[in-house]
Amino acid sequence: KDANGCAVSPDQYTVSYKGNTNAGKAQAVVTFTGEKISGNKTLNFVIGKAGQKMTVKTVKKTVKRSAVKKKAKSFKAAQVFTVKNSKGAVSYRKAGGDQKLGISSSGKVKVKKGIKKGTHKMTVKVTANGNGNYKSMAKKVTVTVVVK
């Protein structure tokens, strides 16, 4: 609108942007080019961080009882988890479940020695820390280990 509160026709101005490709402060610069109106107007605004669309899937692991009778067995994160569309560093934390199962912050799943035959489960919280443009996000998944 002009100084009198009247709408300004789109053919009497152009809009350009500065710093609007990432989260943070940005500007819109309106340049007036009409006969009755001229000059520039800078408008400041903030672009917020976007949410993530991370997905996490797990694969059931099977171990023989004889392999964990006297020593622990471990699985690398890539053998158990498929994490897609994460932004920032990914970390893992046990959120509940069988005491004979454990996990490191890097996602290494540990089956402790002496675990009994059967199906064992633990809940794991998988967190992507986010970055300059994306918020952090966490998902809980269930890891299943079958001891035969």
Compute the distance between CA of residue 138 and CA of residue 142 in angstroms, rounded to an integer. 13
Between β-strands 73-75 and 137-147, what pairing exists: parallel, antiparallel or unpaired? unpaired
Tokens linked to 112: 């402790």
Q: What pLDDT score was predicted for residue 1? A: 74
Query: Distance of alpha carbon 51 from its chain centroid, rounded?
Result: 7
| pLDDT band (50, 70, 90) for residue 3 | confident
Provide, rounded to the nearest whole percent, the portion of the chain with pLDDT above 90: 86
* pLDDT per position as a tens digit, 88-142: 999 999 999 999 999 999 999 999 999 999 999 999 999 999 999 999 999 999 9
Strand partners for 41: 30
Burial class (CB in 10 A: 0-12, 13-18, 19+), 53: exposed
**Rounded to two decimals, what is the model's pTM?**
0.82
Average pLDDT along the chain? 94
Instruction: Give yes or no for residue 9 having a pLDDT over 90.
Output: no
**Residue 83 corresponds to which amino acid?**
V
